Amino acid sequence: MLEPASFLDLEHTSHGNLFANGEPVWSALKQIAPYLAAKDNFPQSGEISEHAHITGQVQIGEGTVVEPGAVINGPTLIGKNCTIRTGAYIRGNVITGDNCTLGNSCEFKNCLLFDNCEVPHFNYVGDAILGYKAHLGAGVILSNVRLDRANIKIRHEGENIDTGLRKFSAIVGDRTEVGCNTVISPGSLLGRDCILYPNSHWSGILGDRTIVKVKQTQQLVERRSGD
């Protein structure tokens, strides 16, 4: 269940060859940099603001809009009909599919976004793979480094699997919705069609079509005179 097909439909990316048969889904993260380094043509089209800051080898697909104040460092591949909003910070080794939204005050590095991903507001996406139609609510953070800086390990069927990666945040499966201000711990694998309530904290493997609910305790008191 740790192979790419358990989380992702490779028909919804033009970069399926990043995934090797028989290898766990996170292995693709190690392939992004060499995959981009081997590419020698980075055409740019779409509507690119003269006030966007673009450096290095950056491909921008047809119909994509890059707004003023966006920062894109190469090597980076941006698909067709995407929106790169003001304040987006793309640090390099980033690949997006078509029809993606990379929003204001969002930071991206060493990641792969499948088609129709939405990362619109105040998000961090580093060392991650987001599946088809995955959506991150405002303020979602995909944490990519353990506090002790050790390799990321996955707990699966009673075994701790060493990924060999010191930086690896999450796999977010196709059509999964992550609610606002949620924090995903390093090495998390979220299945397809999941919902995580706002203000969740998730660590580990989440099965397909699972809802993570958060119940908040609230206390109502009368406001005293003079308060």
Instruction: Give the residue from 91, 55, 84 showing the smallest Cα distance to 67.
Output: 84
Ordered per-residue pLDDT tens for the chain, 227 residues: 799 999 999 999 999 999 998 999 999 999 999 999 999 999 999 999 999 999 999 999 999 999 999 999 999 999 999 999 999 999 999 999 999 999 999 999 999 999 999 999 999 999 999 999 999 999 999 999 999 999 999 999 889 999 999 999 999 999 999 999 999 999 999 999 999 999 999 999 999 999 999 998 999 999 988 76
Q: How far is residue 99's CA from residue 34's CA, in Å, rounded to a whole number? A: 25
> Considering the entire predicted model, what is its pTM?
0.95
Q: Is 66 exposed, middle or buried (0-12, 13-18, 19+ CB in 10 A)?
A: buried
pLDDT of residue 227: 66
Supply the mean pLDDT for the chain. Answer: 96
Q: Kindly report, residue by residue over 72-99, the tens digit of the pLDDT.
A: 999 999 999 999 999 999 999 999 999 9
Q: What kind and span of H or E run contains 130?
A: strand 124-130
Within 10 Å of residue 52's Cβ, how many Cβ atoms?
Answer: 18
Tokens of 185: 């711990």
pLDDT of residue 216: 87
Q: Secondary structure of the chain: what % helix, strand, coil (to 5)? A: 10, 35, 55
